[in-house]
Amino acid sequence: MAAEKKEFKRHFPVINKCYCCCCMDMETALKLCSIILSVFSAIGLISTNRFTNKSMFLRSLAEFVSLILLTIGLFNKNVSFMRPFLFISIIEVVILIGFYIIMIFGFFIYRQSLIDDLLAQAEEDPNLLYYYDNEEAVSTMINIAFILLTLLIFSLCAIYIYLFLCIGSYMETIKEEQYRIDEARKLESDEASLNNLNNTNTNQA
């Protein structure tokens, strides 16, 4: 009896369209995104001073290497090359969330001190770009800056999470296709073996 065909077990949702480049198919969109992100990552890596900010440089380097491997993996359909990007995405989201939590505490603890410092600087030099003549105006400016930074952090987290899901889904699609090919070959082999066995039994009878 032929072996029962097993279903491939997925851990990522099936995503057929990458909305970062919605006018393209999934594979082409991911390739384009990886190239664009690699270019931006390279610019960030070059602009980071490896001597004065070593941790940021190493972080940028790890991100750049993962994007290069991702690009190679997408063009060659090599799942192993895509996997590092998934780990880097998780790490980046954790770092961003951690930074945001620290920023929230700092905002409420040092907010008034920052307002006083800005008012003092404005009194010393009225020509400053951020010159404000009263505490309410400075407070409003700080609140707006905090909101904009919050939106930026959550946008970056959303991008990392979305790309994490898209890449993970695409990786599993590749593995599923290979799994189905292997299962089909195995099924054909089992059926051929069963037919040979039946023919042998018939001849012996």
Tally of helices (H runs) and strands (E runs) in the chain: 4, 0
Give which of 129, 106, 105, 133 is closest to 119, Cα–Cα: 133
- DSSP string for residues in 114-145: HHHHHHHHHHH-TT-TT--SSHHHHHHHHHHH
For residues 11-18, give the mean pLDDT: 85
For residues 164-174, give the mean pLDDT: 93
pTM of the full structure: 0.78
Report yes or no on 9 lying in a domain: no
Is the pLDDT reported for residue 171 higher than 70?
yes
Report yes or no on 31 lying in a domain: yes
Report yes or no on 13 lying in a domain: no
Report yes or no on 203 lying in a domain: no
% of the chain surpassing 90 pLDDT: 43
User: Where in the sequence is the domain holding 56, given as residue range(s)?
Assistant: 19-196
Q: What's 48's DSSP letter?
A: S
Instruction: Output 5 or 34, whichever has higher pLDDT.
Output: 34
CA distance 135 to 118: 9
Given this model, what pLDDT does residue 23 score? Answer: 78
Which pLDDT band, with edges at 50, 70 and 90, does 1 fall under?
Answer: very low
Report yes or no on 14 lying in a domain: no
% of the chain surpassing 70 pLDDT: 82
Given this model, what pLDDT does residue 198 score? Answer: 63
Report yes or no on 73 lying in a domain: yes
* Average pLDDT over the chain, rounded to an integer: 83
For 118-149, the pLDDT digits (tens) are 777 777 766 655 556 677 877 888 889 899 99
Highest mean pLDDT among 2-11, 18-27, 38-47: 38-47
Give which of 189, 203, 171 is closest to 86, Cα–Cα: 171
Give which of 98, 66, 89 is closest to 158, Cα–Cα: 89
Match 């990522």 to its residue by tokens.
Answer: 12
For residues 90-112, give the mean pLDDT: 92
State how many domains the chain has. Answer: 1
Report yes or no on 7 lying in a domain: no
Which pLDDT band, with edges at 50, 70 and 90, does 100 fall under?
Answer: very high
Q: Is the dihedral of CA 189, 190, 194, 195 positive or negative?
A: negative
Report yes or no on 8 lying in a domain: no
